[in-house]
Amino acid sequence: MPYPTALSRKVRTDLIKFTDILRANGYNWDVMGLNPLFTPDKKLSLLQIKEHWRRFLTARHPGGPAKNHIYFQLYIPFCRSKCSYCHYRSIMPIPAKGEIDAYIEHLLWAFKFFSPVFKGKSFSRLYIGGGTANLLSSLQLEKLLGGLFKNFSFSANGRKTFQHNPNTASFSNFRVLRKFGFNSLSFGVQSIHPSVLRLNNRYYQDGGSALQAIARAKEAGFDDINVDLIAGLAGDDIDGFKKSFSRLIKLLPYNITVHGLIPDVDYLAEKLKMDSRRYFTRHYPGLIKKLLPFMLDLSARSGYLPDSSDPFRWQWDFRSNKQLSIGPGPECEVDDEYFDCVFGLGLFSKSYIPKVMEYRQVSLPANNDPSGKVYAARRYAAKEAMVRFVVGKFARENKISMQEFTRIFGMKLEEAFPYALRALEFLEAVSRENEFYVFNFNKPEHRYLYALFFSYEQQQPGKKTGHSFLK
């Protein structure tokens, strides 16, 4: 079917503009870095955040039962040192015991402050991480969890995960976690090679301690164990990564998550000795092209199922084919609407209220004053929530369910983004298969460029969120 000249001209002009945006972003095609439609940060207080949750939980949600699937995330911000590749915020070095105790007391206060809003609600998942969450002693951990479970309810068979640095994993902490019903552990191993770890400022960990921690966790009764590895670390090579993956899969964790390294400019210059264009357009795609077939083959022979064989991604999960009696796994097998419903507590924690806003805690309130504006929040207009949904889908797969989009947002995808879909049809980058729009990502950067058509879509859906933003 011929396309109007005006459409073809606009699409080509936009594609040039979007390529310039990619270039200005250092050729980093991580689609989750796209955030062009969000409104500027507004500072909100604990009282205002509490009221937003009250409104959301008491409102009707015709698009789906999102308020019945809330993910609780608790952030412990302390670290021994900053790993060279890490983008997460943390406090270093580890403060004195009294300061950690004071932080725990703040969290216990926050539990009591927010708990009335969630009365009668059961969180579907719990995740405690950081930072380095297992820097807490067993006594500190027991006190923290005692207050948490006293004030909030959690699904009996839902996943309760605790993030561990393998070097400081202990039986005493494992016992406390089991006492409070934790059924999942996640170990940030990253590499088993001491030289690689030292080069990346992870000097306190060695390969042996990681392997021992996983074995001890199994002895403590945990069978849902996730292990994180990073592909592309400075000092590592193809053979080195293969050895890490092979050693870990022999321990039979429930899941292995492989993250592609997304370096910043300083890491590229100081550790990898290359510029961003070389890394994102040649080095990383070439690395994954060599590593992914090996991981797919070994995981299949070891009884693991990959979530994808797509080489143009930044994360892959390899899950054991054994069955567990708990909820969704590390990649969160729930609708994006549910995944976006996150209640976070703790310094640097992030939260998402579906179709309303996202916010993060940037400081602690003085003397636990609830009027203190310690949150930076970004509002979701209806369009922004839709863009977030599309970008989230692009990050993990190459298709979007038309039925799912309509159920969540109350309108069709082609009504919300008529130009974006028409433009991608012109580029022969999208097709319809049954109830899905299927996108053709033939190059790594296509995810990023095609997502920009949705981000910059000018058509406004004219549908309100039904939830005003508190000033």
Give the tens place of pLDDT for each residue, 109-148: 999 999 999 999 999 999 999 889 989 999 999 999 999 9
Mean pLDDT of 393-400: 90
pLDDT tier, 36 (very low <50, low <70, confident <90, very high otherwise): very low
Residue 178 has pLDDT above 60, yes or no: yes
Residue 199 has pLDDT above 60, yes or no: yes
The better pLDDT of the pair 333, 18 is held by 18
Q: What is the pTM of this model?
A: 0.90
| 3 state DSSP class of 468 | coil
- Counting residues of the chain whose pLDDT is more than 90, the rounded percentage is 70
Per-residue CA distances from 119 to 32, 112, 231, 395, 427 (Å): 33, 11, 43, 34, 51
In eight-state DSSP terms, residue 316 is: E
pLDDT at residue 37, rounded to an integer? 42
Per-residue CA distances from 280 to 29, 41, 88, 362, 387 (Å): 7, 29, 21, 31, 24
Region for 84 from its dihedrals, namely left if φ exceeds 0, alpha if ψ lies in -120 to 50, beta otherwise: alpha
Q: What angle do CA 130, 133, 135 make, to 5 degrees?
A: 130
pLDDT tier, 217 (very low <50, low <70, confident <90, very high otherwise): very high
pLDDT tier, 427 (very low <50, low <70, confident <90, very high otherwise): very high
* Alpha carbon distance 154, 184 (integer Å): 14
* Alpha carbon distance 451, 444 (integer Å): 12
Q: Are strands 71-76 and 342-345 parallel, antiparallel or unpaired?
A: parallel
Please give the structure tokens belonging to residue 302: 């070891």
Mean pLDDT of 278-307: 97
pLDDT tier, 331 (very low <50, low <70, confident <90, very high otherwise): very low
| Contacts (Cβ under 8 Å, ≥6 apart) of 304 | 249, 256, 318, 319, 320, 321
Per-residue CA distances from 27 to 18, 34, 315, 413 (Å): 11, 13, 18, 28
pLDDT at residue 68, rounded to an integer? 62
Q: What is the mean pLDDT of the chain?
A: 88
Please give the structure tokens belonging to residue 15: 């594609």
- Counting residues of the chain whose pLDDT is more than 70, the rounded percentage is 90
pLDDT tier, 255 (very low <50, low <70, confident <90, very high otherwise): very high
Residues in the chain: 471
Q: Which amino acid is located at 432 in the chain?
A: R
* Alpha carbon distance 4, 132 (integer Å): 56
pLDDT tier, 88 (very low <50, low <70, confident <90, very high otherwise): confident
| 3 state DSSP class of 70 | coil
Cross-strand partners of 318: 256, 306
The neighbour count for residue 245, using CB atoms within 10 Å, is: 22
pLDDT at residue 363, rounded to an integer? 96
Q: Which of 61-65, 138-142, 264-268, 340-344 has the lowest mean pLDDT?
A: 61-65
pLDDT at residue 319, rounded to an integer? 96
Q: Which amino acid is located at 344 in the chain?
A: G
Mean pLDDT of 373-378: 94
Residue 332 has pLDDT above 50, yes or no: no
pLDDT at residue 467, rounded to an integer? 53
- Looking at the chain, the domain(s) classified CATH 3.80.30.20 span 43-336
- Looking at the chain, the domain(s) classified CATH 1.10.10.920 span 5-37+381-455
* Alpha carbon distance 92, 83 (integer Å): 11
If one looks up domain 5-37+381-455 in CATH, what number appears?
1.10.10.920
Run of H or E including 120: none
The neighbour count for residue 288, using CB atoms within 10 Å, is: 22
Q: Which of 96-110, 137-151, 195-209, 436-450 has the lowest mean pLDDT?
A: 195-209
Residue 307 has pLDDT above 50, yes or no: yes
pLDDT tier, 188 (very low <50, low <70, confident <90, very high otherwise): very high
pLDDT tier, 275 (very low <50, low <70, confident <90, very high otherwise): very high
The better pLDDT of the pair 2, 13 is held by 13
Q: Which of 375, 449, 370, 383 is nearest to 415 (CA)?
A: 383
Residue 464 has pLDDT above 80, yes or no: no
Peptide bond between residue 93 and the one before it cis (omega within 30 degrees of 0):
yes
In eight-state DSSP terms, residue 336 is: H
Residue 329 has pLDDT above 80, yes or no: no
Yes or no: domain 43-336 corresponds to CATH 3.80.30.20? yes
Instruction: Write phi, then psi, for 382 (nearest 5 degrees).
Output: -55, -40
Mean pLDDT of 24-29: 92
